[in-house]
Amino acid sequence: MSDVANTITHNASAGKASPAEARRANEGRARAKGYAAPSLADVQNLVPNDDQMAKITSSFGIEAGDADELTGLGSNMIRDQYTTLEPVLVTMYRGEPNYQGLKIHLDRVVDGLVRSAYGAAEFYEKRRLVAKDAVNAFSNEHRDEDRIGIDGGANRVDGLREIAAQHAAKSYSLACVAAWACAAYEELMGQAWQPYVANNSRSVSEQAAALRNDALGF
């Protein structure tokens, strides 16, 4: 965690941070945990759902992409590579086709799409919270020295809302592509795509073998 986040967390525990700062620190920690290996669920927890996106496009007049095109893009990206690369990456092992090479490749392709969508979703969430905090500050009658002035204050809030809406459309579109890529992967490979997480744990037998190797000097 950054020094800034540490300071905010410390101030929050000491009662010095504002509720908005404390909330952003907590949400930042939660997103950081998912960022190392984001899942599709992590993406969908941040982006607007279909109903929210319909309201955003209607209220702000922002294009979020054609649903059919986004669906086809995500699905076909995986299906086309599966069809083209199957003869190359699928090998025969003991008379049976081994799909591991093709699976690894498609794992990486889907991982890239999900990571891209997650990055956009995280940025949208940050812009959304900035706009929300600005709205709250502007509408708070009891603030003093840091109250947004009447000279264009409302325009500033509107601008922040516009920025958040624009990034809502970007993150939503990329999330659609990632979602349909995951759906195609599951249909073709017979199992749901999962983000890769390094597994450093070893079984008891592996640990015993490692100890014996060490004892023998190899």
| Domain assignment present for 60 | yes
What would the mean pLDDT of 62-75 be, rounded to a whole number?
Answer: 93
Domain with 100 in it: 38-196
The residues with which 143 forms a beta bridge, in sequence order, are none
pTM over 0.75: no
Query: Which pLDDT score is estimated for 186?
Result: 97
Listed residue (111, 117, 134, 110) closest to 46, CA to CA: 117
Query: Which pLDDT score is estimated for 81?
Result: 97
Task: Check: CB of residue 73 under 8 Å from CB of residue 173.
Answer: no
Confidence of residue 145 (pLDDT cuts 50, 70, 90): very low
Rg (CA), the chain: 24
Listed residue (104, 61, 112, 65) closest to 85, CA to CA: 104
Number of domains in the chain: 1
| Domain assignment present for 136 | yes
The tokens for 15 are 């009662």
| Domain assignment present for 107 | yes
Query: Which pLDDT score is estimated for 142?
Result: 46
| Domain assignment present for 131 | yes
| Domain assignment present for 91 | yes
| Domain assignment present for 57 | yes
| Domain assignment present for 206 | no
| Domain assignment present for 215 | no
Which of 35-49, 126-140, 189-203 has the largest mean confidence?
35-49
Confidence of residue 140 (pLDDT cuts 50, 70, 90): low
